[in-house]
Amino acid sequence: MSYQIPERVRRLQAYDPSTGAYPVRLDANESFFPLGPELMAEVLEAVEKVEFQRYPDPYAAELCAAAADFFGVKPEEVVAGNGSDELIMLILSAFAGRDRKVLVSEPDFSMYRFYSEIYELQCVSMDKKRGSVDIDGLLRASREEDAAVVIFSNPCNPTGCGVKAVDVLRLCRESGALVVVDEAYMDFWSESILKDVAGLPNTLVLKTCSKAVGLAGARVGFAVGNRELIDALKKVKSPFNVNSMSQAAARVVLRKKDLLRERLNAIRRSAQGLKNALELLARRYPEKIQSLPTVTNFALLRCADAPGLYRGLLERGVCVRLSMGDCLRVTAGSAGENAQFLKALEELLREESV
């Protein structure tokens, strides 16, 4: 018999990011800041020095040093990945083990389940309580199920809720599993466990350059943890996982702490403005939309007809993300992008049909 694609692969739903050329893109939680001419010039200068005929530095030493400085940890407590996405894949495939259990708290970032299924791990899911991780529930389940890995995003994509550092640390200390805390959105909140992670035997924190840092196109993410875990990750990763151009670009950008802080503050202001505007709109159309609180760079709207609004926005050139069936997840954009989105949304809400 000829080759058959395994059943579990055939069953998978492909990740489906929007690809159309929409003038307003608020669907992927990226930074709305382009590098800008000055920073771009520095990045290009660094990329020009790349030896394209050579393989990249397998340990991305200079990049990890810049990241460690940025995060306030030691370089040996950091490993770089081709986006944090690659690190999620590596951690699950190498650290969980075949037929072992991965515990997730859903709704959450879909990649945790996606990679668990590809690598034939049993993905055990706990429901979130009002959008938040139920720490006691996870702790109980991690023991009862003898989970190898517990993984969740904090703050959460897509619910926008966060768990306090003290509660995350309690889970880390009391669970026998490897706890992976994906802090992709922690730049927008203040409950990171980064300063404690090196002292924990069983915890990895994931960080990314794709959100506040503004380098989604370069695909650079990090895992931070105690040296033993980080050394183990270095052993299992593909040797040249982060290409030389991305290493050079991210190294330059992560050194710009003042500029990044300014941009971060602008993103926070944009998110606050967007949420305030949606709050007002929701008061005018309470039967159509409800604005949910978030601690992230995206707003969340629960809608009577989320697919209808989603399609209506696309027709008006605004791409947001349809999320959890009945919600729209909207990235904080530039002032102009937010205004175009709000205008289109208001038009749609005035119509009878949505």
Ligand X SMILES: *Cc1c(COP(=O)(O)O)cnc(C)c1O
Q: Which residues of the shown chain bind ligand X in the complex (CB under 6 A)?
A: 29, 83-85, 109, 153, 157, 182, 184, 208, 210-211, 216, 221
Cβ-defined contacts of 122-130 (< 8 Å, 24+): 128/156, 128/159, 128/161, 130/161
Give the nearest distance from C-beta 183 to ligand X in angstroms.
8
Tell me the C-alpha to C-alpha distance, in Å, between residue 325 and each of 88, 245, 279, 289, 304: 25, 38, 20, 14, 10
Handedness of CA 39, 45, 49, 53 (dihedral sign): positive
Which residue lies nearer to ligand X by CB, 142 or 208?
208
Give the nearest distance from C-beta 84 to ligand X in angstroms.
4
Which residue lies nearer to ligand X by CB, 31 or 208?
208
CA distance linking residue 295 with residue 345, whole number of Å: 22
Which residue lies nearer to ligand X by CB, 298 or 341?
298
Cα 252 to its chain centre, rounded Å, is 22
The number of C-alpha atoms within 13 Å of 318 and in the hemisphere containing its C-beta is: 27
Give the nearest distance from C-beta 221 to ligand X in angstroms.
4
Q: Quick check: helix, strand or coil at residue 154?
A: coil
Which residue lies nearer to ligand X by CB, 32 or 109?
109
Strands 321-323 and 289-292: unpaired
Which residue lies nearer to ligand X by CB, 142 or 153?
153
Give the nearest distance from C-beta 216 to ligand X in angstroms.
6
Contact 78, 229 (CB under 8 A): no
Give the nearest distance from C-beta 5 to ligand X in angstroms.
25
The radius of gyration computed from the CA coordinates of the chain, to the nearest angstrom, equals 21
Give the nearest distance from C-beta 206 to ligand X in angstroms.
6
Which residue lies nearer to ligand X by CB, 220 or 345?
220
Residue in the shown chain whose Cβ atom is closest to ligand X:
83
Please write down the HEC assignment for all residues of 98-114. CCCEEEEEECCCCHHHH
Strands 178-182 and 203-208: parallel
Give the nearest distance from C-beta 327 to ligand X in angstroms.
15
Contact 191, 185 (CB under 8 A): no
Give the nearest distance from C-beta 210 to ligand X in angstroms.
3
